[in-house]
Amino acid sequence: MFARLAQGPHGRAGRSLGGVALVVIALVLAACQGTASPAPGSDTVKVFGAFATQIEEPWDGVIHAALEAEQAAGRIEYTFSDDIGYAGDMERVLRETAEKDKPDIIFGDAFGNEEAVRKVAADFPDIAFVFGSGGGPANPNFSVFDNWIHEPAYLAGMIAGGLTTSGVIGVVGGYPVPEVNRIINAFIQGAQATNESVEVKVTFLNSWFDPGAAKEAALAQVGAGADVLYAERFGVIEAAQEKGLVAVGNMSDQQSLAPGNVVTSVTWNMGPTVKYVIDQVIAASYTSQDLKDFSMVGKGGAALAAVNTGVPGGVSDALKAEVAAREAEIKAGTFRVDINEAQPPGSTIAGG
């Protein structure tokens, strides 16, 4: 199918991206052993997407959207399977795909499927495996990424803190894992920057995709006084719309879900990560590495969506200016958002 793996050292583990120029990375990687590249004489890469949850789940949706964009550009042949589930089901799908379809790259969500995905990757070293992970890469072909969107989460928190009139903000998250905790903690930090006395209620669902439970948790927070809701999980925006309140979207720009209620979204763009990996594979220089930096603001992997002033209560020019000034500082590297991956104090588990 394709001989993509070269010999040599590979990058270390991790999950976020810094500000090193792509040309510098390319030079460094050129000195390392490569891994994948398409079949000789072909510039089109065969890619498979493996998603544990439904594609509507925002995390998977962002990865899927980036791959669809590359397919539309004619650079890849893309197929995917969603709602696969965990453990044995994921391992079975990956093995069947690797053996029968022989893709050049397999992208996927991986969280909850770490052991299964790494096991299959080790058995198919000529395929580039690129999965979301809290761990590190594994030679020669397993790369990791994560959604390092704590910076725009901080900015969204500033907006939420400036908009609340009750002084209470609600956040509904998936699991209290480091990757989610750091986003929520950054959001809380931002809210406190514009409202020192704000109270932030955090509820974890213990599920990555349960819109009904997410809405129920959000409504409970509204009942406890919250008038601004951060939808870290899908389903919260529906609660905000139902109650005529303000919501902050997550992963992608979710204003279209409730145009009169979503003030902004904490967005993740997998485009830079996907493009980088595909470029590597085409050049026969793919190496296992931590793709962390490509999911951060510095490389366009994370951003705050446009502020919607048409939400209940509106958004003042002064608040917009304050947020814009802080955003400029983040982009310039003069302000760094803290990375705190501990479970937020006072947070609760739904049903617990």
Q: Tell me the pLDDT tens digit for each residue of 87-103.
A: 689 999 999 999 999 99
Number of Cβ atoms within 10 Å of the Cβ of 16: 22
Mean pLDDT confidence for 200-224: 96
Residue 39 predicted with pLDDT over 70: no
| Residue reference for tokens 């925006």 | 237
Q: What is the pLDDT of residue 134?
A: 85
Mean pLDDT of all residues belonging to the chain: 88
Give 208's DSSP letter.
S
Q: What is the pLDDT of residue 152?
A: 97
- The answer to whether 90 and 132 have CB atoms below 8 angstroms apart is no
Spatial distance between the Cα atoms of 272 and 315, rounded to a whole number of angstroms: 31
Instruction: Report the percent of the chain where pLDDT is more than 70.
Output: 87
Q: What is the pLDDT of residue 86?
A: 85
Q: What is the pLDDT of residues 286-308, one digit of tens each?
A: 999 999 999 999 889 999 999 99
CA 48 centroid distance within chain: 18
- The answer to whether 15 and 179 have CB atoms below 8 angstroms apart is yes
Residue 128 predicted with pLDDT over 70: yes
Q: Are strands 199-204 and 168-173 parallel, antiparallel or unpaired?
A: parallel
Mean pLDDT confidence for 42-46: 79
* pLDDT tier at 274, thresholds 50, 70, 90: very high
Please tell me which residue, 9 or 167, carries the higher pLDDT value.
167
Chain length of the chain: 352
11-15, 51-55, 80-84, 198-202 — which is least confidently predicted? 11-15
β partners of residue 142? 129, 138
Number of Cβ atoms within 10 Å of the Cβ of 121: 23
β partners of residue 248? 230, 264
* pLDDT tier at 42, thresholds 50, 70, 90: low
β partners of residue 172? 203, 231
Measured CA angle at 252 (ends 152, 318), to 5 deg:
40
Backbone φ, ψ for residue 138 (5° rounding): -135, 130
* pLDDT tier at 27, thresholds 50, 70, 90: very low
Q: What is the pLDDT of residue 57?
A: 85
Q: Dihedral, CA atoms, 69, 72, 78, 81, nearest 10 degrees?
A: 60
Give 138's DSSP letter.
B
- The answer to whether 97 and 103 have CB atoms below 8 angstroms apart is yes
Mean pLDDT confidence for 201-205: 98
Closest CA to 125 of 105, 104, 140, 145: 140
| pTM of the predicted structure, to 2 decimals | 0.78
* pLDDT tier at 43, thresholds 50, 70, 90: low
Residue 212 is which amino acid?
A: G
Closest CA to 144 of 12, 27, 258, 45: 12
Residue 342 predicted with pLDDT over 50: yes
Q: What is the pLDDT of residues 306-335, one digit of tens each?
A: 999 999 999 999 999 999 999 999 999 999
Spatial distance between the Cα atoms of 134 and 205, rounded to a whole number of angstroms: 20
1-5, 259-263, 297-301 — which is least confidently predicted? 1-5
| DSSP percent split of the chain into helix, strand, coil, nearest 5 | 40, 15, 45
Q: What is the pLDDT of residue 147?
A: 86
